[in-house]
Structure 1
Amino acid sequence: MLKVLFAGTPDVAVPALRELAGDTEHFEVVAVLTRPDAPKGRGRRLEPSPVKQAALELGIPVLESDPKEPSFVSELKASGAEAGAVVAYGKILRQNVLDALPMGWYNLHFSLLPQWRGAAPVQRAVWSGDTITGATVFKLTRGMDTGPILAQSTCEIGAHDTSGDILQRLAGDGSRLLAAALTAMASGEIVLQEQPQGAYEVAKKIGHDDAHVRFDIPVFAVDRQIRACTPEPGAWCMLHPQGAATGEDTNADDANDVNDSGDSSDAEPFHILQARPANADDPQALKGLKPGALSVTKKHVWVGTATAPLELEMVKAQGKKTMKAADWARGARLADDAFVD
């Protein structure tokens, strides 16, 4: 039986923890390493990470020490762990920490390494239009996601999949891959494969500003950006419900007339949770909308892009709950020249 220390933080890491903890024939999870409780919500109350919550439910001791602290290596050795399993822990482990466990540390990464090393592999794969991604179990070394590979599995990216959809599938598939790879590693049945050398794209973290949706690009690119940023950090734009800024000379009868001068005083944040390129067979959608212009009917809400329109399906306006776009539009009192940017 392999004694494992599990390191992870968010929801996506929980299936792997439960998989290892449940396989009592092959593993003993002796401790869980996660980040300290963090403030959350409007009240900024301290809340444990999803991994900590799962560990407490499973009765596993929790470590919240900073791996940079001089005493951390002693804590590791005191746990009795032989190997470390890491899934979205969120902190870099220094070499003295990597050397502290006799059988090393093994990371479950959500890409087909060596492609998409870094913090946001699934989001970047969706944004780039990849049709295949996957999970990789590799041994941690000093480089960023560069260690030798134990095992990989693949996963298709569907035309309408969001990053959240893909991560949910990979979290389940990857947990089983991690357990199988660690079992084979402990029994000496697996040969580590060095990653091929070359220039590969890095999956840089996607922040709030990155999720600001652009509409002056082709519809396929807008669609990818929204899906990549869903659910985190959340695709958003600014809604101008009354159209062009006060004082602008606009044609209120022209739904395609967007204020090119920029902002207006009534602009408010607007979140797009689900959208897709308009159906080319729907004659109502083919209006040649300018980028950002809104077109609303009883059952549809379209927004113009540099090419074809994008149909909004689920949205969240400022101060409102998540709604179907058509339901939101009926109560939004939008001007004929309302737009988003």
Structure 2
Amino acid sequence: MRVVFMGTPDFAACALDAVVSAGHQVVAVYSQPPRPAGRGQKERPSPVQARAEALGLEVRTPTSLRTVEAQQDFAALQADIAVVAAYGLILPQAILDAPRLGCINIHGSLLPRWRGAAPIQRAIMAGDAESGITIMQMEAGLDTGPMLTRESLPITPTTTAASLHDQLAEMGARMVVEALDGLAAGRLTATPQPAEGVTYAAKIDKAEAHIDWSRPASDVARHINGLSPFPGAWCEVNGERVKILLAEQVAGHSTAAAGTLVDERLLIACGDGGAVRLLRLQRSGKAPLEAEALLRGWSLPAGTVLA
């Protein structure tokens, strides 16, 4: 089929590769414009733009799709379908209607749960037992369109946003190719989302990243893992800000005050009398380290209080 691909981050780049490898004709790739990045703040293309250019595909980076000119340019591609994955721009109705088979979206949750911007992080932080991918037919509402296919995978106690992202990116890439084949053959029917169970995954705010040790241990562990690696949950250790990138809840009961190191292997007391063990950390200005490696160069005795 003649496909327009629309996406921006690594999550979408995986799907672009799959669509191209499946033999579809990608007539254009839409992505967010290059942004300043790095110490020099030089403009850097998005992962999707970089991958598309490496594949020799035409790339378009409009700042809006609401202008008549942008919509005419899109319609002139005469696409059979548009595949959208974490693109970052609202698609006006004229864009949604232009491809012969409309626009389909790769969404990183089990819709209708976690519509919106941060479904991967919110699923972990909320303690969901599973996540997954929904391939849906797009409409004007926020992730409200009917579902074409849906698959799940478990969230474990040490699942992080990074590990779940990578699993879902691979799953979404496979599923969207299967959906394209099904739509081309006319054997795939969209099913409306149920009205019950709708939740919204608000964009992650950096202000959420400070760890509150007074919360229950299960909440603290999920908070840390759900924000790893970005923006990275953090606390202060002896006045130094440290990111915590992986933690797990530990069975048992502690009588220590919340935020206190219970032992010399980074077991931290939490507000419900439970505890979490810190497994991967990043000191300010340094590379992330597993706890064992970090402790070889940094003595943190029991009784140290984390703020």
Question: Which bin holds the TM-score, normalised by the shorter protein?
Answer: over 0.9
**1:270 equivalent among 229, 242, 252:** 242
In the alignment, the residues of structure 2 paired with residue 194 and residue 336 of structure 1 have an alpha-carbon distance, to the nearest angstrom, of 54
Superposition pairs for residues 170-209 of structure 1, below 5 Å? 170-198=168-196, 200-209=198-207
What is the aligned length? Answer: 305
Deviation at 1:329, TM superposition (A): 4.0
Structure 2: gaps spanning 5 or more residues: none
**1:288 equivalent among 252, 255, 263:** 255
SS at the partner of 2:76? helix
In the alignment, the residues of structure 2 paired with residue 83 and residue 185 of structure 1 have an alpha-carbon distance, to the nearest angstrom, of 10
**How big is the alpha-carbon RMSD for the aligned residues of Structure 1 and Structure 2?**
1.8
SS at the partner of 1:192? coil
**1:51 equivalent among 45, 48, 51:** 48
Deviation at 1:336, TM superposition (A): 6.9
In the alignment, the residues of structure 2 paired with residue 270 and residue 135 of structure 1 have an alpha-carbon distance, to the nearest angstrom, of 33
* Equivalence for 1:311: 277
* Equivalence for 1:85: 83
**1:112 equivalent among 103, 110, 113:** 110
**1:75 equivalent among 66, 73, 76:** 73
8 Å Cα contact 1:133-1:157 kept in structure 2: yes
SS at the partner of 1:214? coil
8 Å Cα contact 2:110-2:132 kept in structure 1: yes
User: Does 2-11 or 161-170 show the bigger shift?
Assistant: 161-170
8 Å Cα contact 1:114-1:200 kept in structure 2: yes
* Equivalence for 1:339: 305
Paired letter, 1:58:
L
Q: Does 1:38 align with 2:38?
A: no
8 Å Cα contact 1:134-1:153 kept in structure 2: yes
**1:124 equivalent among 122, 142, 155:** 122
Deviation at 1:337, TM superposition (A): 5.2
8 Å Cα contact 2:263-2:302 kept in structure 1: no
* Normalised TM-score (structure 2): 0.93
Paired letter, 1:20:
V
Deviation at 1:48, TM superposition (A): 0.7
Q: Bigger radius of gyration, 1 or 2?
A: 1
SS at the partner of 1:79? coil
* Equivalence for 1:210: 208
* Equivalence for 1:98: 96
Give the share of equivalent positions with the same residue, in percent.
34
